[in-house]
Every structure is written in C-alpha cells, then in structure tokens.
Chain A
C-alpha cells in the first residue's frame, strides 16, 4: 500500500512539476519584458520596478503594428477562400459515384505526401511571372493551393461519414435545386469540421515564417514572424525590447486560443487524427 501511495505522490509531483517547467520560460519572457532599460538583475529574479516602456517603444519602432494588420488580412482571406473552395469541391467529391470523382479525390490526397520544398523554386518563378511577388496575394494563393489536399480530405471524409444523405433527399423532394441543397442543407451540417479546419489551417498560416520571408522579401510588407525576425536582427542584444516584441506578437493568437480554448483543443485532436 505504501508503494502505491509513493507512486501516486510521484505522479502528482511529475504532473505539477512539469507544468511548472512549462511555465518557467513564460515567466522569464514576461519578467524581462517589463524590466526598465539598464536594469541588470539576473533574469530569474522578479523585476521590481515594472514598466510598460518596452511595449510602447516596440509599438512605435518596430514594424509590428502594420505586420499584425497584414497577418490578419492574409490569414482571414486565405481561411475564407480555403473554406469556400474546399467545401464546394468536397460536395461533389463526397456524393458523386462517378469514377472521375473518386480519382479526383485520390489525386488531391497525393498532395498530402508532397513536401513544399520541392516546389519551392518553380513556385517562386510562377509567382514572379504572375506579378504577385511582394504582394499579400502571393501568400494567399500559396496558402489556398497548399492547404487544398488537407482541407478536401477533411471535409470530404466528414461529409461521407457523418452527414446523412436523407436531409438532402428531403430538401430535393421539397423542390430545392442542387446548389440550394448545398447552401442551405449541407453547409450548416458541415459546421463542426469547418471549425476544425479554420483552427488548424489558421494557426499554420498565422505562424508561417518561411513563405513570407521568401515571397515578401524587399517589398516593405511583412507578416508578424518576419517582423519579429527583422526586429531581433536590429536589436540583437536588447532582450527586454525583443521580449516585449515577442509578447506583442503572441497576444492575438493567445487571446483567440484562450477564448475558444475548448474548440481549439478539440480541433487539434480531431484534425490531427483525421
């Protein structure tokens, strides 16, 4: 019995202890960001004279305000376009029994296996030829195309397994056209999977560093990760300032996470299993 008790105590120590370990970097992040310039107390000791100066300075001097706007624009437009285009495609792909439709579905699945790096340079040249380099559109088109396989996989399999055909047949009998059925019957039923999709795809787009680094280079437009990269390059030793910038960059996504926590966690669990 004593061994059992010891085991249980060990498990509690492990759980709470590791949660604490997860928090230490966050403590350092905040602790340093609120520290006034010229305060050289060791980082682990709490900052006594807390200040918001670093945040104000970052807001005024970094490209973050406009980068946040750009990131919001790119993420929103891309997510909307992905939702619209992928659900439209998923509907006939899930419902039609034609051979071509099955083939098309598998054709999309191939995309899940192809890593983006192979397409990197040809895609860059395509964007250049289309005149999209240095504009947010390059990224939006890229994200929409790149996320199509996963989006179509998720929505099509959900339609097949969890949306009963009966509703659509009933609507058809009541005189709805095919597109009306799609709009008024199928789309509302797709809500759970669309939530998952927005969360997974949205977080990925929001945090993507590599593509904007490449496609927006030299344009003066930046997204949040690129703005952070540039800011760190410019203030490489002023960690208080850098950490204030990191916190500002994290606020939007963490706010959304905390508000929609349950859905975010469910979305990840459901989507990654998909």
Chain B
C-alpha cells in the first residue's frame, strides 16, 4: 500500500498533482480529533445502527400483525425466492443493463461529437444535461402523459389524427418496461455524456495527430487511442448506471405504479409495497438486504477494476 505507481503524464489536468502518498507526520490529529465526533455520531445514528437492526429484522417474521417478532433464520429469503420477487429481481437487472447499454452508446457518441468543433456545442451540452437536475418523479409524470392510453396520450392522439392504430403503451407489460427504460435514458444520458467529456479531456491531441500522420483512420484512432484512455470513464459510467438502475423507484412509481398486474414491479417498489401496503416488515427488510448485496458486489467490482486500470495505466 505504501508504494503507489507513478501516474504517467497522460492524465486529465485535474489529476496532475497525484504524486505518491504525501502524508507526513502531523500533530493535527491529536488536538483536533474531536472535530470528527459530530460526523461519527450522526453516521452511527442514521446509517450504521439502523442498518444493523434492519439486517437482523430480515431474519425475523416481524410484521404489522405480529409485533412480537420471532427469529426465523433465512425463512424470509426462502419466501422471497418462491414469490414474485425473483421475477422482479430479474426485471430490475434487465432495466439496469438495458439503460446502461443504451445510455452509454448514445452518451459516448454525443461526447465524441460535442468534444470536437461543432456549431452550438455548448448549447447542446446544456440541453442534454438539463434533465439530470430535474426530479425523476416529474420526468416520470411527463412521459406518463406522452405515452398515455388511447384517446388521451400525446402520441396516441397524434397517431389517431394520422388515422393510425392507437397503442396502449403502458397497458402492455413489454412496452411499459421499454418506456421506463426510455425515460431513464432520456434523463441520464446527459450525465453519462459529461463523464465521457471529462474523460476525453485526458486524450492528448498530439497523440491523435501523430496517429493521423501515420495513416490511422477515424476508427483506428478511436479504437487504439481514445477508447483505452477512456477506460476509467467507461467503468465509472457502467457502474453508476448499473447501481442506479438496480435502485430504480421514482420512475416506476410515477409511470406505471408497478403495473400492469405487477409486470413492471422492481426490487425497490416491491420493498416499498411489502412495507407500506402489506406491513410485512421482515420480508421487506430481507428484500432490501438482497438489493444491498447486489449493489455492494457491483461497487466492489468497480473499485477493483478501477484499481487495476490505474496500475496498468
């Protein structure tokens, strides 16, 4: 841990100062250690203690109807496995993977275009990033109207005026799922693009010029120079997208409410449903633990991949 490899010269401007561990002996820690106490206290109160309690709850049959909970081991997890949450977990994973793939493909292309000399590129960046700051719930309602049922939804009314067949987009499980994916992509492609743009700052133009002089085409330059240097940005985007996708809640809540007939239910909406509608506290906590494990695995993979890339760079 004490020897960090020297970072090469080809790094984004913001990182040029990272030379080795620069921690020197300092007396600050001894006199100001109590500065950390408020943070530790609120962190214990809000994160650590409730999480440990929640982890224990997942092993009990506590519910709104059974307040003196018994320890039942992995019973909740077995119930989950047999119930409809297996389907919800797969669906959540599908949403996460689909949004990440589409979002990264579009985000990377846009970043490559908006990194070059393009008329109005700052305006385009502003527009594409803007949905990112808006509440996912609000965005959800907007799209719920656009894809509304025959007779009222914007697209359906347009279809009707063209004399075309109207479609019940949100009443059909498959199209409802794809609309959720579209909404997430619409809102978060901007942030994916911005991270790629930041990564592109680290691609030295001299290298691309040199390759051009050697006769490399656009694709060859992208494949052998730009893409390898973008590797950390790719990792970050994939992981942020996957983790965000696994936790998806607001959009489902606003657009489909989990319907039709539970066909767009995700892990997070099920946790909420078990908790608030069914009063199945133990079961709800167990499902949350499953989600936690999924997210933790992804986070650790991200950490490991980034570390390896740093070492290989």
A contact set with B: CB distance below 8 Å: 4, 7, 11-12, 14-16, 18-19, 22-23, 25, 28-29, 32, 42-44, 85-86, 88-89, 91-93, 95-98, 100-101, 104, 108, 111-115, 117-123, 126, 141-142, 144-146, 148-149, 152, 160-162, 165, 168, 178-179, 181-182, 203, 206-207, 209-210, 224-225, 228-229, 232, 237, 239, 242-243, 246, 249-250, 253-254, 256-258, 261, 264-265, 268-270, 272-273
Contact = CB atoms under 8 A, between A and B. Distances in A.
A97 B127 contact: no
Interface of B: 14, 17-18, 22-33, 35-36, 38-40, 42-43, 45-51, 53-55, 57-58, 106, 109-110, 113-114, 118, 124-138, 141-143, 145-146, 152, 154, 157-158, 161, 186, 191, 194-195, 197-198, 218, 232-233, 236, 240, 247, 249-250, 253-254, 268, 271-272, 275, 281, 284-285, 287-289, 291-292, 295-296, 299-300
A43 B36 contact: no
A265 B142 contact: no
A207 B292 contact: no
Contacts of A92: 28-29, 32-33, 35-36
B288 A118 contact: yes
B49 A122 contact: yes
**Ordered nearest first, which 7 A-B pairs have the shortest CB separation?**
A96-B29, A145-B46, A119-B50, A89-B39, A117-B288, A122-B53, A43-B154
Contacts of A108: 39, 43
Q: Could you tell me the dominant secondary structure of chain A's interface residues?
A: helix
B295 A93 contact: no
A28 B145 CA distance: 10
20 contacts: A12-B118, A16-B124, A25-B142, A25-B146, A91-B32, A97-B29, A114-B296, A115-B247, A118-B58, A118-B291, A119-B51, A119-B53, A122-B49, A146-B47, A149-B43, A165-B22, A209-B137, A225-B137, A254-B130, A265-B129
Contacts of B236: 272-273
A178 B28 contact: yes
Given A18-B106, A91-B35, A96-B33, A118 B51 contact: yes
Contacts of A179: 32
Contacts of A111: 43, 47-48
B198 A269 contact: yes
A250 B138 contact: yes
